[in-house]
Amino acid sequence: MSIHPSILSADFANLQAELESIASADAAHVDVMDNHFVPNLTLGLPIVQRLQEVSKIPLDVHLMIDDPDHWVPKYAELGVDSVTFHLEAAKDPLALTRTLRSIGAQAAIAIKPGTPVTDVVELLPEIDMLLVMTVEPGFGGQKLISETLAKIVQARSEIRKRGLTIALQVDGGVTESNISELAELGADCFVAGSAVFNFENRALQISKLRELSGSHSH
């Protein structure tokens, strides 16, 4: 089980200190938004480059952008741990996964709540992580869409059926109240923005979330 706090809910004027505050997490989740693929704008390559230079934990970059075919290699070349692009935005997702792996980054694909798991199953052997979005991408602090829960179960079953060991990440509305259920359904990598950064003691939040997600094995 891994916990990836999303720095979307961090203080953008103090990102280095905010990264230090989540040093006990497995990775920092970095939401890149372009105001085209989603109706919000966050940060891009130059900032991710500096985050990669100062971060003591791996970076998990979630690209919510148009034209990932152009941008994905540039993020991978920064040396980040993983790059997630959206299936809905990619022209050639298979080529992108292969490019990511050849550069040395973990390859991950995200699907929005309205995109069926069946759209991505063929690519499962080509990726290291599948991200099932549990909110509409674009903003932190939203409530988890309960209709996405069935997709977690389905995704876990498709992964298991193929004998794959890829991570199943959930992102959006993950809290202390639902993380245990999400783990039971089959998720093993949890993004949490407000459930970590809205609290003074981030280390405590991370350990609570880890413990609550803890005892399930897939």
List of residues contacting ligand 5SP (CB under 6 A):
6, 8-9, 29, 31, 62, 64, 135, 137-142, 171-174, 191-195
| SS3 (DSSP) at 169 | strand
Out of 26, 31, 60, 128, the active site residue is 31
Residue 112: contacted member of Fe ion, ligand 5SP, none (CB under 5 to 8 Å, by partner type): none
The span from the CA of 32 to the CA of 48, in Å, is 9
Query: Could you tell me the smallest distance in angstroms from the CB atom of residue 136 to Fe ion?
Result: 11
d(CA 218, CA 1): 10
- What's the sign of the alpha-carbon dihedral 58, 18, 24, 172? negative
Residues 31-60, mask of contacts with Fe ion (x by CB under 5 A): x-----------------------------
Structure tokens at 201: 């003691």
Select 108 or 183, whichever has its Cβ closest to Fe ion.
108
Residue 28 has φ and ψ, to the nearest 5°, of -100, 130
Angle value at C-alpha 85, between 79 and 88, nearest 5 degrees: 165
Task: Report residue 101 as tokens.
Answer: 């792996």
Task: Report angle CA 71, 73, 78 to the nearest 5 degrees.
Answer: 105
Amino acid, single-letter form, for residue 146: S
State the nearest-atom distance from the C-beta of 31 to Fe ion, in Å.
4
Contact characters 55-94, Fe ion, x per CB under 5 A: -------x--------------------------------
Q: Determine whether the annotation assigns residue 102 to a binding site.
A: no
Nearest to 81 by CA among 54, 100, 109: 100
Q: How far is the CB of 110 from ligand 5SP (least distance, A)?
A: 8
Residue 11 in marked binding region: no
172 annotated as belonging to a binding site for a ligand: yes
Q: Cite the DSSP H helix spans in the chain.
A: 15-21, 45-54, 68-76, 93-103, 149-161, 179-185, 194-197, 202-213
Distance of closest approach, residue 178 Cβ to ligand 5SP, in angstroms: 11
Of these partners, Fe ion, ligand 5SP, none, which one is at the site of residue 173 (CB under 5 to 8 Å by kind)? ligand 5SP
Q: Is 171 a catalytic residue?
A: yes
Of the candidates 60, 81, 171, 188, the residue annotated as catalytic is 171
- Binding-site residue numbers for substrate are 6, 62, 138-141, 171-173, 193-194
Residues lying near Fe ion in the complex (CB under 5 A) are found at: 31, 62, 171
> Which residues belong to the annotated binding site for a divalent metal cation?
29, 31, 62, 171
- Report, as residue numbers or ranges, the catalytic residues: 31, 171
